[in-house]
A and B are shown apart, each in its own frame.
Chain A
Amino acid sequence: MKVLKRYGALYVMMVPVIAYFLVFAYYPLVKGLQTSFQDYRLMGDRPYVGFANYSAVMHDSMFWDAMVNTLVIGGGILLFTFAAPLIIALSLNEVLRTWYKKLAQMVLYVPHLLSWVVVGGIWIFMLSPDSGLVNMILVHVFHRAPFNFLADSTWARWIMIWLATWKEMGYTCILFLAGIVSINPSLYEAARIDGATRWQQLIRVTLPQLGNTMKVVFLLNTLGILRIFDEVFVLRNPTIATKVDVLMMYTFQKGILDIKLGPASAASFFVLLLTLALTLVVRRVTRFDEV
Chain B
Amino acid sequence: MKKLLLTMSTVAVAGTMILTGCGSESNGNDAANAPANSQTDNAPANAGGGNAADAANAPTNAPAAEMKLRILDANVGGKTPEENTKFEAEIKRLTGIDAKMEKPASDYDQKVLTALGSGEKYDLIELSDLGQLATFVDQGVVTDLTDFVTKSKVLSDPTVVPTSEWDQLKDKDGKIVAVFSKFQGGTMPIVRKDWLDKLGLQEPKTLDDYYNVLKAFKEKDPDGDGKNDTYGLSTSDLYDIQGFMSAAGLKYRYVMKDGKRTIPYASEAAIPMYQWFAKLVKEGIMDPNFVTNDTGKMRNLFLTDRVGMVTYWDAWVGMFNNMKQQEDPSTKFQAEALDGIPGADGTVMLRRGDPDFWIVPVNAEHPDAAKKFLEFWHTEPGITLGSLGIEGEDYTKSGDAYTLTDTGKDHSSDHGVPFWYNENVKPPFGKLPGVQAAQDIVKQHATLELSLPGWDDAEKIVKNYALKAMSGQMDAAEAVKKMHDELLGKKLIDE
* C-alpha spacing A8/B11, complex, angstroms: 11
A185 at the interface (CB under 8 A from B): no
CB distance from B1 to the nearest CB of A (A): 12
Is there a chain A Cβ closer than 8 Å to B3's Cβ?
yes
Q: Is the CB of A151 within 8 A of B467?
A: yes
Asked whether, in the complex, the Cβ of B467 is within 8 Å of the Cβ of A238, the reply is yes
Q: Which of A75-83, A97-105, A124-132 interfaces with chain B? A: A124-132
Q: B490 in the interface, Cβ–Cβ < 8 Å?
A: yes
Given A151-B292, A152-B473, A238-B460, A16–B141 Cβ distance below 8 Å? no
* In the complex, A44 has a CB within 8 A of chain B: yes
Distance to closest chain B CB from A186 (angstroms): 43
Bound together, the chains give a CA A257 to CA B292 distance in angstroms of: 20
Q: Tell whether B26 is near chain A: CB-to-CB under 8 Å.
A: no
A289 at the interface (CB under 8 A from B): no
Residue A146 interfacial (CB < 8 Å): yes
Given A130-B287, A239-B468: A43 and B456 interface contact (C-beta under 8 Å): no
How far is B17's CA from A129's CA once the two chains are assembled, in angstroms?
Answer: 54
Asked if A13 meets B10 with Cβ closer than 8 Å, knowing A43-B363, A124-B292, A256-B113, the reply is yes
Complex contacts, A261 vs chain B, CB 8 Å: 117
Please name all residues of chain A whose beta carbon is closer than 8 Å to the beta carbon of B471 when the two chains form the complex. 148, 151, 239
Q: Is the pair B291, A148 in contact by a Cβ cutoff of 8 Å? A: yes
List B residues 118-157 near A (Cβ within 8 Å).
132, 135-136, 138-141
Residues of A within 8 A of B18 (CB): 15-16, 19, 23
Contact string against B for A residues 98-139, beta-carbon threshold 8 Å, 1 for contact and 0 otherwise: 000000000000000000000000001000111000000000
Which residues of chain B (458-476) have a CB below 8 Å from chain A? 460, 463-464, 467-468, 471, 473
Within 8 A of A (CB), among B172-215: none
B90 within 8 A of A: no
Inter-chain contact total with CB atoms closer than 8 Å: 113
CB contacts under 8 Å to B, within A227-248, are 237-239, 241-242
User: B residues within 8 A CB of A128?
Assistant: 288-289, 292
**Distance (Å) between the CB of A119 and the closest chain B CB?**
15
Distance A129 CA – B113 CA, assembled complex (angstroms) = 37
Q: How far is the CB of A149 from chain B (nearest CB, A)?
A: 10
| Contact call A239/B467, Cβ cutoff below 8 A | yes
Which residues in chain B, 92-112, are within 8 Å of chain A measured between CB atoms? 109-110
Q: Is A150 interfacial (CB-CB < 8 Å)?
A: yes
The closest CB in chain B to the CB of A24 belongs to: B21
For A43, give its contact among B116, B291, B464 (CB under 8 Å).
B116
A62 within 8 A of B: yes
B460 nearest in chain A by CB position: A241
CA of A151 to CA of B237, assembled, Å: 11
Q: Do A239 and B116 have beta carbons less than 8 Å apart? A: no
CA distance A13 to B14 in the complex (A): 8
B464 A151 Cβ-Cβ under 8 A: no
A61 within 8 A of B: yes
CB <8 Å contact, B3 and A9: yes
Q: Does B361 interact with chain A (Cβ within 8 Å)?
A: yes
- Asked if A9 and B109 sit within 8 Å, CB to CB, the answer is no
List the A side residues contacting B362 at CB < 8 Å.
Answer: 43
- The answer to whether B64 has its CB under 8 Å from any CB of chain A is no
**Which of A140-190 touch B at CB < 8 Å?**
146, 148, 150-153
Listed from nearest, the 10 A-B pairs whose CB atoms lie closest are A238-B463, A44-B140, A151-B291, A129-B288, A16-B14, A42-B139, A15-B14, A43-B140, A12-B10, A9-B6
27 contacts between A and B (CB under 8 A): A9-B3, A9-B10, A12-B10, A15-B10, A15-B11, A19-B21, A42-B117, A43-B141, A44-B139, A130-B289, A148-B289, A148-B291, A152-B473, A153-B473, A237-B291, A237-B292, A237-B467, A238-B291, A238-B463, A238-B467, A239-B471, A241-B463, A242-B460, A253-B456, A256-B113, A257-B109, A259-B113
Q: A9-B6, A41-B140, A130-B288 are in contact. List 14 more A-B contacts (CB 8 A).
A: A13-B14, A20-B17, A23-B21, A41-B138, A124-B292, A146-B288, A148-B291, A148-B471, A153-B468, A238-B291, A238-B460, A238-B463, A242-B464, A253-B456
